[in-house]
Amino acid sequence: MSLLLEALHAPGPLVTVELRPPSRRLGAQDGMSAWIDLHHSLSRLTRDDLFVFLTDNAVGAAEEESLVHVGANVGEAVDLRRIVPILTCKHTLDYCRTFAARALSDGFDTLTVLGGDVSVPPPRCVPRSRDLREILADLVPALTLGGWVNPHRDPDEQLGWLHAPDAFASYALSQVVSHHALPVIERLLEARERSDRRKPIVYGVFFYRSANPKTLDALSNFFPVPAEAITAEFESGASAEEVCARTIRALRAEGAEKIYVSNLGERGAGRRLVRILDLV
């Protein structure tokens, strides 16, 4: 059992972090600065015994470089078992095989495998993420593989896919949720209670830095955003950290104790997380 899976099966709350590699569109100097910031955040977070999910932010050689970057630059300073790369199907199959094999070779022991947005190019190399997990499970059986659930969709269907014998997933990340949409979490948790199998789910919490209308509108292309409610919170004087803490408190109150916080940024992610958790 991987280090992450042990933590997910342990009783009690768990907070993890999702970080994004620097954009491939950055110039050489800005890109190097962003990578340095990311390395500092990875080192600090993992030294504090936190787990970090590292997203699949690019395609082709640029994304391969991100895995090598982390393995080569923080590999000796941190326990790579606390860093969990995310791989989508938006690559060639050969690339995905190489990515998984390199992850295991470098010292990572967990890999989250997701489908990727089919509405934008490039196409997926396989129709579904479980298809890729099946291939990788045969190739690198020592890696613990994770999948995905979306609380905003039918909970029984989502859990059915996660718990299917051919899911090849030991846990799942969830789509981002908010304390302004607790009924979707309640339905998912009720469906889990009805199920004989209960694989761990890590619930996504988004760190809204402001209520900028353009930003909230852009984010709504990726997940449901309660824009009016978020705007009202900021207008009432709540800080970004307090808004995030409210979601964490609400999820824990419902019984969703394992969470990941996204959008903390490459620089200062650890300090932001401390401020958030001080308010939980």
Domains of the chain (ranges; CATH) run 3-278 (3.20.20.220)
Closest CA to 19 of 209, 269, 273, 220: 269
The token pair that represents 275 in the structure block? 């401020």
- Encode pLDDT of 230-275 as tens digits: 999 999 999 999 999 999 999 999 999 999 999 998 788 999 999 9
Percentage, residues of the chain above pLDDT 90: 74
Which of the four pLDDT bands, split at 50, 70 and 90, describes residue 60? very low
Residue 260 near residue 204 (C-beta atoms within 8 A): yes
Which 3 state secondary structure label does DSSP give 146?
A: strand
Residue 62: the pLDDT is: 53
Residue 195: the pLDDT is: 84
The token pair that represents 171 in the structure block? 């846990």
pLDDT for 94 beyond 80: yes
Q: Rounded distance, CA 228 to CA 13, Å?
A: 29
Q: Rounded distance, CA 85 to CA 110, Å?
A: 7
Residue 35: the pLDDT is: 74
Which of the four pLDDT bands, split at 50, 70 and 90, describes residue 4? very high
* Side-chain-facing half-sphere of 55: CA atoms under 13 Å: 18
Which of the four pLDDT bands, split at 50, 70 and 90, describes residue 57? low
* Side-chain-facing half-sphere of 135: CA atoms under 13 Å: 19
- Encode pLDDT of 124-176 as tens digits: 999 999 999 999 999 999 999 999 999 999 999 999 999 999 999 999 999 99
